[in-house]
């Protein structure tokens, strides 16, 4: 077995979830073992998600990246608007830098306009609802990455 | 607010007499200097009170302003939520809601009311313009800090509709109906509108600002054409002029009453009263939203006050928001 072959094998392994491979061939016994590269910060988060996710949500992978974000949820049932009027520009977009207290959107219920503010300084990472759509109480509407 | 309290005291003193009251007597009774008396008399004149002054005789009240929030509150006695000290009147504002949101943010008390004779940027839902000429209508915004769950806040809009419909009916004798959620109608035309702004933490309401616009003596011929087709005024319907002071006082009185009912008995009496005042239930309606138009039969309210509409495919939809038109 050439060195190139071993290198190639290692490369292929990186693209998979496999962490350990053993090969016995022509008297050579090769064992490649890869440590899962979780950062110190992310590791405990993942553990927490897994337990939470088991209870209600099967989509563990979808939730995992959200963990270092702040999730903004809808405090009331209503209609979600990204702009103050149909022809106005949106309060924020993905990538917008927002300050704590800055308005992210409006949720309207029966002509009560609830202006939702960011509770952190950060960057809008994801808008989870399309404008003019209904939202339920407690539904996640934004992911904001604190800075 | 000590100053305005003294102005109220001077007024009640002058109102008790039909003849002149000397400056010295006013000063002694209120425990202030004669210069202070003069200052407050000047302020009252600026607010539209007509006060005669004669050397050696003193002061006499000769007339009250056409629209005075002070007069309104003094006629009501002790209220639970509102007091004369917390009613702020302005000759003109951009928007009473904008000013109310601003002062609410700096911590004004529950029950503060911002009133203006005219607005230069009065607004309705979705940044629409609310026509606000001077001298004829009522434009007011109420700051509330209710100790209710954030998710129950929307009931305040139905409550305000109920209180205003009751008040306008009481003042004019005209039948006022509510179009969901809280348009004030005479017949099929709008006599008043309500727009509420809410600021809340996840678990607590910081404040709600309830903006109310009422067309009182607004002449139909003075309305812009697109408005006059869909709007009306108390005066137009009743063929007489109304006292804005009295209408304002009655709205405040009814708001105080219904807020108290809501606090002590919850949503149900509010929703029940809304149903008796509404013209929406049982009607064929069109609801336009940003997403499109929906047709159906308005069947009922759910426990939250949302409109239940039976649409053409037979399903029942909970409507949170949208412009309702009667078909």
Nearest to B153 by CA among B108, B110, B118, B205: B205
| Residues B190 and B231 sit within 8 Å (Cβ to Cβ) | yes
Ranges of chain A whose pLDDT falls below 50 = 36-64, 66
Burial class (CB within 10 angstroms; exposed 0-12, middle 13-18, buried 19+) of A33: exposed
In a domain, A10, yes or no: yes
Interface residues of A toward B, Cβ cutoff 8 Å, are 73, 75-79, 81, 84-86, 88, 108-115, 117, 131-134, 137
Q: Is residue A46 part of a domain?
A: no
Identify the H or E element spanning A7.
helix A3-14
The number of distinct structural domains making up chain A is 2
Domain that holds residue A84: 52-146
All domains of chain B in start order, with CATH: 2-63 (1.10.10.10), 69-277 (3.30.930.10), 284-326 (2.30.30.100)
Same domain, A67 and A112: yes
Q: How far apart are alpha carbons B200 and B210 in whole angstroms?
A: 14
> A70 and A117, same structural domain?
yes
**Residue A43 located in a structural domain:** no
Extract long-range pairs of A58-62: CB within 8 Å, 24+ residues apart. Answer: none
* Chain A residue numbers touching B158 (CB-CB < 8 A): 110
Which of B126, B151, B181 is nearest residue A110 as measured by Cβ atoms? Answer: B181
Same domain, A63 and A113: yes
Count of CB atoms within 10 A of residue A14's CB?
Answer: 9
CA–CA gap between residue A120 and residue A108 (Å, rounded): 23
CA distance B24 to chain A (A): 52
pLDDT mean over B263-292: 95
Question: Which pLDDT belongs to residue A4?
Answer: 67
Q: Say if CB B10 and CB B32 are below 8 A apart.
A: no
Using one digit for the tens of pLDDT, what is the confidence trace for B209-261? Answer: 999 999 999 999 999 998 999 999 999 999 999 999 999 999 999 999 999 99
Q: State whether A57 and A18 are in the same domain.
A: no
pLDDT digits (tens, 9 = 90+) for A18-53: 656 666 666 666 666 655 443 333 333 333 333 333
Average pLDDT over residues B54-64: 92
- Give Cβ neighbours of residue B162 (< 8 Å, ≥ 6 apart): B178, B254, B258, B270, B273, B274, B277
**pTM summary value:** 0.80
Identify the closest residue of chain A to B196 by CA–CA distance. Answer: A112
Q: B321–A84: do the CB atoms touch at under 8 Å? A: no
| Closest CA–CA distance from residue A110 to any residue of chain B (Å) | 5
Q: Can you tell me the distance from the alpha carbon of B99 to that of B114, in angstroms, rounded to the nearest whole number?
A: 7
**What residue of B is the nearest CA neighbor of A108?**
B321
- Reading phi first (left if > 0) and then psi (alpha if -120 to 50, else beta), residue B303 is in alpha
Residues A106 and A136 in one domain: yes
* Distance to chain A for B125, nearest Cα, Å: 7
pLDDT of residue A17: 60
DSSP annotation string for B261-307: HHHHH-HHHHHHHHHHHBS-TTSEEEEEETTEEEEEEEEEE-TTSPE
Q: How far apart are CA B172 and CA B234, in angstroms?
A: 7
Which of B126, B202, B321 comes nearest A78 by C-beta? B321
Looking at the structure, do residues A14 and A67 belong to the same domain, yes or no?
A: no
Residue A24 lies in a domain: yes
Residues A11 and A64 in one domain: no
Region of poorest pLDDT, from A3-7, A94-98, B133-137, B309-313 = A3-7
Whether residue B6 is predicted with pLDDT greater than 90 in this model: the reply is no
pLDDT band with cut points at 50, 70 and 90 for residue B61: very high
Q: Are residues A126 and A95 in the same domain?
A: yes
Task: Please state whether beta strands B189-201 and B204-214 pair in parallel, antiparallel, or not at all (unpaired).
Answer: antiparallel
| Facing residue for B157 by CB, picked from A111, A115, A134 | A111
On whether residue A78 sits in a domain, the answer given is yes
- The pLDDT value given to residue A25: 64
Task: Give Cα A98 to chain centroid, integer Å.
Answer: 18
Residues A17 and A63 grouped into a single domain: no
pLDDT score, position A49: 31
- Helix (H, G, I), strand (E, B), or coil: what is residue B87? strand
Per-residue pLDDT band for B70 (boundaries 50, 70, 90) equals: confident
Note whether A25 and A76 are same-domain residues: no
Q: What is the CATH number of the domain that holds A59?
A: 2.40.50.100
What average pLDDT does range B47-53 have in this prediction? 90
pLDDT at A46: 30
Q: What is the helix (H) or strand (E) element at residue B225, kind and residue range?
A: helix B225-228
- What residue of B is the nearest CA neighbor of A77? B151
- Do residue A26 and residue A57 come from a single domain? no
- Check residue B201 and give its pLDDT: 84
Question: A132 to chain B: which residues are within 8 Å by CB?
Answer: 289-291
* Residue B31, CB-side half-sphere exposure with 13 Å CA sphere: 2
**Is A47 part of any domain?**
no
pLDDT in tens, B111-132: 999 999 999 999 888 788 999 9
CA distance B45 to B56: 20
> Are B247 and B205 within 8 A, CB to CB?
no
Whether residue A40 is contained in a domain is answered as: no
Distance, in Å, from the CA atom of A35 to the CA atom of A50, rounded to the nearest integer, reads: 20
Does residue A80 share a domain with residue A120?
yes
Distance from CA of B190 to the nearest CA of A (A): 15
* Cβ-based contacts under 8 A for chains A and B: 84
Q: Of A52-61, B22-31, B51-60, B137-146, which one has max mean pLDDT?
A: B137-146
What is the SS3 assignment for A14-81? HCCCCCEEEEEECCEEEEEECCCCCCCCHHHHHHHHHHHHHHCCCCHHHHHHHHHCEEEECCCCEEEE
Cβ-Cβ contacts under 8 Å, A78 against chain B: 154, 320-321
Task: Over range B33-62, report the average pLDDT.
Answer: 92
Q: Is residue A44 part of a domain?
A: no
């Amino acid at each position: 077995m050439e060195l190139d072959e071993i290198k190639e094998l290692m490369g292929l392994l990186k693209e998979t979830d496999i962490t350990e491979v053993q090969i016995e061939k022509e008297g050579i016994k090769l064992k490649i073992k890869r440590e899962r590269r979780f950062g110190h910060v992310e590791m405990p988060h993942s553990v927490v998600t897994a337990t939470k996710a088991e209870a209600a949500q099967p989509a563990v992978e979808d939730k995992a990246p959200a963990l270092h974000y702040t999730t903004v949820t809808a405090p009331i049932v209503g209609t979600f608007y990204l702009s103050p009027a149909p022809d106005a520009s949106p309060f924020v977009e993905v990538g917008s830098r927002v300050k704590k207290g800055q308005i992210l959107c409006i949720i309207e219920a029966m002509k009560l306009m609830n202006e939702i503010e960011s509770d952190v300084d950060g960057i809008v990472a994801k808008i989870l609802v399309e404008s003019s759509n209904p939202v339920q109480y407690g539904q996640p509407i934004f992911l904001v990455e604190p800075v | 607010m000590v100053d305005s309290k003294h102005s109220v005291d001077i007024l009640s003193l002058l109102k008790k007499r039909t003849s002149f009251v000397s400056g010295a007597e006013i000063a002694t009774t209120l425990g202030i200097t004669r210069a202070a008396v003069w200052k407050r008399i000047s302020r009252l004149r600026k607010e539209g009170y007509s006060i005669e002054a004669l050397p050696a005789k003193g002061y006499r009240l000769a007339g009250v302003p056409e629209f005075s929030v002070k007069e309104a509150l003094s006629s009501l006695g002790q209220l639970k939520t509102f007091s004369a000290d917390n009613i702020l009147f302005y000759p003109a504002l951009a928007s009473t809601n904008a000013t109310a949101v601003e002062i609410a943010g700096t911590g004004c008390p529950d029950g503060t009311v911002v009133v203006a004779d005219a607005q230069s940027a009065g607004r309705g839902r979705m940044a629409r313009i609310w026509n606000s000429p001077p001298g004829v209508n009522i434009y007011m915004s109420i700051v509330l800090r209710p100790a209710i769950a954030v998710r129950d806040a929307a009931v305040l809009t139905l409550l305000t509709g109920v209180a205003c419909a009751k008040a306008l009916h009481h003042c004019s004798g005209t039948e006022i109906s509510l179009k969901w959620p809280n348009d004030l109608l005479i017949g099929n035309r709008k006599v008043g509108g309500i727009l509420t702004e809410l600021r809340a933490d996840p678990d607590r309401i910081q404040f709600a600002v309830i903006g109310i616009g009422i067309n009182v003596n607004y002449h139909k011929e003075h309305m812009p054409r697109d408005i006059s087709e869909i709007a009306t005024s108390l005066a137009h319907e009743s063929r007489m002029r109304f006292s804005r002071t009295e209408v304002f006082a009655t709205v405040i009185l009814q708001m105080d009453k219904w807020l108290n009912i809501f606090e002590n008995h919850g949503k149900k009496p509010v929703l029940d009263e809304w149903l008796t005042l509404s013209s929406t239930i049982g009607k064929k309606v069109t609801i336009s939203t940003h997403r499109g138009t929906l047709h159906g039969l308005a069947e009922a309210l759910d426990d939250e006050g949302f409109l239940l509409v039976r649409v053409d495919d037979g399903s029942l939809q909970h409507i949170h928001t949208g412009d309702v038109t009667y078909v």
